[in-house]
Structure 1
Amino acid sequence: ELVGIKGPRDCIIKLLTYEADSGPSRQQLKVVSIVGCGGLGKTTLANQVYKEINGQFDCKAFVSMSQKPDMRKILMDLLSQILGNGSPMCFDEQRLIDKLREFLKDK
C-alpha cells in the first residue's frame, strides 16, 4: 500500500461511482481531473483509482499523458487496450478516432 494515497483514491472513487442522492452510479458519464505540478503523484493516484474500479466496466483503458502528448500514440494505446490486440495499427489520427468512436458507440 502506498503511503498517503488511500484517502485521495477513495475520494475519487466515490466521485466516479456514486450519485449524489441515490447511491451507486452506472449510467452517467463522469470525468475527474487530477491536476498539479510534476512529481506530485498524479499518475500514481489515477492508476490506483483505475486498478481499484476497472473491474466494474466492460470497456476500460488507462493512458498516461505527458506535457507534450503524442496523440497518435495515445489513440493507438487506447485502441490496443480496448480491442485487446497488440498488433500495430497504421492509421492516421482521424482513422484512429473514427475506429475508437465506432467501437464505443453502443457502449
Structure 2
Amino acid sequence: ELVGIKGPRDCIIKLLTYEADSGPSRQQLKVVSIVGCGGLGKTTLANQVYKEINGQFDCKAFVSMSQKPDMRKILMDLLSQILGNGSPMCFDEQRLIVKLREFLKDK
C-alpha cells in the first residue's frame, strides 16, 4: 500500500459513492476534481480510487489528463474502454462525442 494515500482515497470514494442524506448513491452524476502541482501523486490517487470502486459500475473508464490534453486521443481512449474494443476508431472529435453520448444516454 502507498504511504499517505488511504485518507485522501477514502475521502474521494465517499464523495463519489454517498449522498449526504440517504447513504449509498448510484443514480446521480458526480465529478470530483483532483488538482495540484505536478508530481504530487494526483494520478496515482485517482488510479487508486478507480481500482477500489470500479467494480460498482457497469460502465467505467480511466483516462489521465496532461497540461495540454489531446481531446481526440482522450475521447478515443474513453470509447475504447467503455466499448471494450481495442481497435482504433477513425473519427473526428465531433463524431467521437456523438458515439460517446449515444452509448451513455441510457446509463
Smaller-chain TM-score bracket: over 0.9
Q: Which runs of 5+ in 1 are unaligned?
A: none
In structure 2, C-alpha distance between the alignment counterparts of 1:54 and 1:34, rounded to whole Å: 17
| Displacement after TM superposition at 1:71 (Å) | 0.4
In structure 2, C-alpha distance between the alignment counterparts of 1:103 and 1:22, rounded to whole Å: 29
| Displacement after TM superposition at 1:21 (Å) | 1.4
Cα deviation, 1:58-85, whole Å, max 9, x if unaligned, reads 0000000000000000000000000001
In structure 2, C-alpha distance between the alignment counterparts of 1:103 and 1:19, rounded to whole Å: 26
| Displacement after TM superposition at 1:106 (Å) | 0.6
Say which SS state the counterpart of residue 4 (structure 2) adopts: coil
Cα deviation, 1:16-44, whole Å, max 9, x if unaligned, reads 10010111011111111100000000000
In structure 2, C-alpha distance between the alignment counterparts of 1:2 and 1:36, rounded to whole Å: 19
% identical aligned pairs: 99
In structure 1, C-alpha distance between the alignment counterparts of 2:95 and 2:26, rounded to whole Å: 29
Matched residues, number: 107
State the partner residue of 1:86.
Answer: 86
Structure 1 segments, 4+ long, off by >2 Å, are none
Q: Which runs of 5+ in 2 are unaligned?
A: none
In structure 2, C-alpha distance between the alignment counterparts of 1:94 and 1:23, rounded to whole Å: 37
Say which SS state the counterpart of residue 43 (structure 2) adopts: helix
What is the TM-score of this pair, normalised by structure 1? 0.99
In structure 2, C-alpha distance between the alignment counterparts of 1:88 and 1:40, rounded to whole Å: 32
